[in-house]
Structure 1
Amino acid sequence: MSEVDAIDLVQSAIFTVLVAAAPAVAVAMVVGVAISLMQALTQVQEMTLTFIPKIIAILVVAALSASFMGAHIFAFTEEVYRRIAIGF
């Protein structure tokens, strides 16, 4: 394995993690901003109020996008195994 192969593999792994985590992170960010806006408008400053809606939203998005995330991780795994089989 050369340095170029190692860098390419790490770059592909980072991209796969970013793509797989993007839906959950985006929904958590949107829900967090919406709840923070509601807290600012109503002046209710309860710290634990943001956790339950975020957790529920992330679980729903994870359930809906599980096949998308799994497909990306599976494609990355196949690529790694293909490279191992041909000897990089």
Structure 2
Amino acid sequence: MTPEFVIGFAKQSIELALTLALPMLLVGLVVGIFVSVIQAATQIQEMTLTFVPKIVSMFIALLFAFPWIMEKMIDFTRNIFLNLPNYIK
């Protein structure tokens, strides 16, 4: 294992983690902006009003994105196990 391999593997792992988190983060961002606009328009400054819709919408996004997330994780893990003999050299 060369330092270049370890750095490349770490980069690939971080990119995968960010890619898998992206759907939930985007949904949370969009819902957060929408709720903030509603709060600004109505001047209601309740803190729970921002968290509950974001949590619910992110959970729903996770339910819809879960098959895609699992496919990406399984492909990544399968690639690691299949190439393990090459990594050990």
Same fold (TM over 0.5): yes
Unmatched 5+ residue regions in structure 1?
A: none
* CA displacement at 1:55 relative to structure 2: 1.0
Unmatched segments (≥5 aa) in structure 2: none
Between the aligned partners of 2:48 and 2:65, the Cα distance in structure 1 is 26
Q: CA-to-partner distance for each residue in 1:5-35, whole Å, 9 max, x for gaps?
A: 1011101101110110000000000000000
User: Given that residues 28 and 54 in structure 1 are in contact (C-alpha distance below 8 angstroms), is that contact kept between their aligned partners in structure 2?
Assistant: yes
Larger RCO (alpha carbons 8 Å, 6+ apart): 1
SS at 1:45's partner residue?
coil
Question: What does residue 49 of structure 1 align with?
Answer: 49
Query: What corresponds to 1:62 in structure 2?
Result: 62
Q: Which residue of 1 aligns with 2:78?
A: 78
Q: Give the TM-score, by structure 2 length.
A: 0.91
| RMSD, aligned α-carbons | 1.1
Moved over 3 A (4+): none
Which position in structure 2 is the counterpart of 1:3? Answer: 3
